[in-house]
Amino acid sequence: MKLWPYPRVCAHRGGGTLAPENTLAAMRTGARLGHRMVEFDAKLSADDIVFLLHDDTVDRTTNGHGAAARLSYAEMSALDAGRWRGAEYAGERMPTLAQIAAYCREAGLAANVEIKPCPRREIETGRVVAAEAAQLWAGAMPPPLLSSFSFEALEVARDAAPDLPRGLLFEHVPGDWRERCRDLGCVSLHASHRHLDEALVARIKAAGLYILAYTVNDLERARCLAHWGVDTICTDRIDLIGPHALGD
Ligand code: G3P
Ligand code: MG
């Protein structure tokens, strides 16, 4: 396996801003535009089903209200997660990780599974998402890339699925990034492109880590980051930054 077997461009939340985030419609939109990698956010429902949602609550992206951690998946899947983005998406649901894995495998999409725990559920979310991802993507090439802002979640993910590659997420890269990534056995460091510069990229690469930068919505900026050595950029503008915009 290539050490970094992932495409240079990754569709943020599946379809960027073109479709309701973290839904099957989003993944289909990314695939329709030729993208070969999608990022999405995975968390646990109250009854421990792994499903896709970015926020702690369902308010922004569905017609429901309240904390996701208090809703069962049956309650969650009754909500409309598409209409807020446009009438044509009415009826979209918050999918399970199993549904998304099946679609990604069928469509040949590489996956960046961001473990996004509900507050105070870091440990069980890291464990369950990683174990499920290992099962759902068994034998898949490339394997799903697990990432998280939560050190704790990634630590238990490492123990639950040691063979899956991991990337630690930061907004601002802290001074002790080397130690944190080493302790987690990360292959990559994921960071907001806003706080990256050429020298920092060079230091991270020299430490043997690959870099994924989010959320890059400007083509010139994407080219600049790639020139510095960033391996993959994650974008909302999947229409503007095409799958081959940074080469193959
Ligand atoms: O994984 C990259 C990016 O998705 C992290 O930020 O808030 O969009 O999940 P966020
Ligand atoms: Mg994310």
- Distance from the first to the final alpha carbon of the chain: 17
* Residues 125 and 154: beta-carbon distance below 8 Å: no
pLDDT in tens, 15-74: 999 999 999 999 999 999 999 999 999 999 999 999 999 999 999 999 999 999 999 999
- From the CB of 155, is ligand 1 less than 6 Å away? no
Catalytic residue flag (residue 54): yes
Residue-wise pLDDT for 97-118, tens only, equals 999 999 999 999 999 999 999 9
Q: Is the pLDDT of residue 2 over 70?
A: no
| Separation in Å, CA 139 to CA 42, 50, 195, 205, 229 | 21, 20, 36, 28, 29
Beta bridge partners of 168: 148, 189
Give tens-digit pLDDT for 138-183. Answer: 999 999 999 999 999 999 999 999 999 999 999 999 999 999 999 9
Report which bound ligand comes closest to the CA of 212.
1
Give residue-wise pLDDT tens across range 3-12: 899 999 999 9
Nearest CA to ligand 1 atom 2: 214
Q: How far apart are CA 120 and CA 114, in angstroms?
A: 17
Tokens of 212: 């994924």
- Is 172 annotated as catalytic? no
**How many angstroms is it from 190 CA to the middle of ligand 2?**
11
The pLDDT value given to residue 3? 81
CB 56 within 8 A of CB 45: no
Q: How many CB atoms lie within 10 A of CB 171?
A: 12
pLDDT in tens, 189-205: 999 999 999 999 999 99
Section 219-242 average pLDDT: 98
For residue 147 and ligand 1, the question of a CB distance below 6 A is answered with: yes
Rg (CA), the chain: 17
Contacts of 56 (CB under 8 A, 6+ apart): 67, 68, 69, 118, 119
Q: Ligand 2 centroid vs 226 CA: distance in angstroms? A: 20
Higher pLDDT, 70 or 248: 70
Single-letter amino acid, residue 89: Y
Query: Which of 6, 9, 10, 12 has the most ligand 1 atoms within 8 A of CB, as the residue to mutate?
Result: 12
The answer, yes or no, to whether residue 1 has pLDDT greater than 60, is no
Burial 188-216 (b: 16+ CB within 10 A, else e): bbbbebeebeeebbeebbeeebbbbbbbb
Q: Ligand 1, from 115, 214, 225, 238: best to mutate by most atoms within 8 Å of Cβ?
A: 214
72 alpha carbon – ligand 1 mean position (Å): 24
**pLDDT class for 248, splitting at 50, 70, 90?**
confident
Ligand 1 proximity of 21 Cβ (cutoff 6 Å): no
Is the CB of 236 within 6 Å of ligand 1? no
CA distance 133 to 171: 24
The runs of H, that is alpha helices, within the chain are: 24-32, 73-76, 97-107, 122-136, 151-160, 177-184, 198-206, 219-228
Q: Is 245 helix (H, G, I), strand (E, B) or coil?
A: strand
Tell me the backbone φ, ψ of residue 38, rounded to 5 degrees: -125, 145
Neighbours of 135 (CB within 10 A): 12
pTM listed for this prediction: 0.98
Q: To test the ligand 1 pocket, which listed residue (147, 196, 215) has its Cβ within 8 A of the most ligand atoms?
A: 215
